[in-house]
Chains A and B, each alone.
Chain A
Amino acid sequence: MTFRDRLLATIRAARSVLEDPGVLVVGSQVPNLLEPGAAATLVVSQDLDIGVPVDCHAAVKRRLPELLLHFTPSADEPSVWTPHSSNLLEVNFVGMDRSQDPTDAYALEDDELPLLVFGALSLVEPGAEIDIRGTRLRLPRPAGLLLEKLVTDRTGEKGERDLLVALGLIVMAGPADFDELNVSYQGLRPELQHTVRSSLTLLSLIEARAGMPDPRPQRTRVAALLRRLESGGAERV
């Protein structure tokens, strides 16, 4: 079974939640789903991150019983739902709060669906709705998700994997996405702008890893993006 098959089967199994109008797929599978035909060649991690706006939390909880047919909440990490079959990926719920500061984080306590709410996800905006084999799901706008990936501190191996998600978004983004990214970046306070640029320098120097996208051919684009952000948007990516 290919990774793409597992991803699409997971989307099918999580359909009840994914079709909630407020829910977004966030995280590493977004570049995979943005590829033509959801080709899913940019394998970085083996889970599906589901963003739940805190004001949709109650509605999403009502959709959980169907999810229990295929997944069980982890005892250690209740926002992670582990699959009953190895043909499916883990599902990881994360909270989103538009009013939150990007550097803040809090726990939304709940017996059924507790959520960690990371402020960087407040930069993410709802984007296109796509159809994946009959499941309608919403993706974030690439610019906001890319900014979220870059504004979050990335260290260690997980940090590198997260930066490779940013790389996937850079590869898939078009000129309008970079325009949007630049506008959002210019609105960040200086400390966060510095973090974004720091993340891009880390991304530029990542080694190739087996089974993951090779960042080296994209170093030119990363350099151009850095220059564009530093120039206030005058240069094109």
Chain B
Amino acid sequence: MTPSVDRRLREQRARVLIRSLDYRQRHHARGVWFRLRRVLADASAAYVIAEDDARQLAAEGCRTESVGGALEPQKLIVIAPSGRIAMIASARQVPVRLSGELLAAKCLALAPFETAP
């Protein structure tokens, strides 16, 4: 076996071990990244919004995502229709990805995809 083949096999086996660890810990702190990505995957757009606006959306019955509370510092992540978010003066759209900008936000409003494709 060449050194490169040996290395690739060891890397593959290490990845499998890490994956098993990730799976076992999916409901614990290690699983937070998957849960956050899963929430973002359902969002057509993301907006940083002011805390007052986020609390207002929640008070209006918009769903909040519990994964926001599992992050430190905690975030308030609210799912709201894009039309409602458009009425929020503080809303600033950010790319839907794990950017520093999105992770630094204290409150996020996520617009879901409008219809099932």
A residues in contact (CB < 8 Å) with B: 76-79, 103, 105-107, 109, 114, 116, 118, 153, 155, 190-191, 194-195, 197-198, 200-202, 204-207, 219-224, 226-227, 235-237
Contacts and interface: CB of A to CB of B under 8 A. Distances in A.
12 contacts: A109-B1, A118-B12, A191-B23, A194-B26, A197-B38, A205-B37, A205-B40, A205-B41, A205-B97, A220-B44, A235-B116, A236-B116
Contact of A105 (B2, B13, B18, B23): B13
A237 B5 contact: no
A223 B37 CA distance: 11
A43 to B, nearest CB: 22
Contacts of A237: 117
Contacts of B117: 220-221, 223-224, 237
Contacts of B95: 207
B8 A116 contact: yes
> Size range of the interface on B?
20 to 34
A190 B20 CA distance: 11
Nearest to B96: A205
Contact of B42 (A197, A202, A223): A223
A105 B12 CA distance: 7
A107 B1 contact: yes
A33 to B, nearest CB: 26
A202 B37 contact: yes
Interface of B is mostly: helix
A227 B39 CA distance: 12
B19 interface: yes
A79 B8 CA distance: 12
A142 B72 CA distance: 41
Contacts of B42: 223, 226-227
B37 A107 contact: no
B94 interface: no
Contacts of B15: 153, 155
A227 B117 CA distance: 11
B13 A198 contact: no
B9 A116 contact: yes
B41 A201 contact: yes
A198 B37 contact: yes
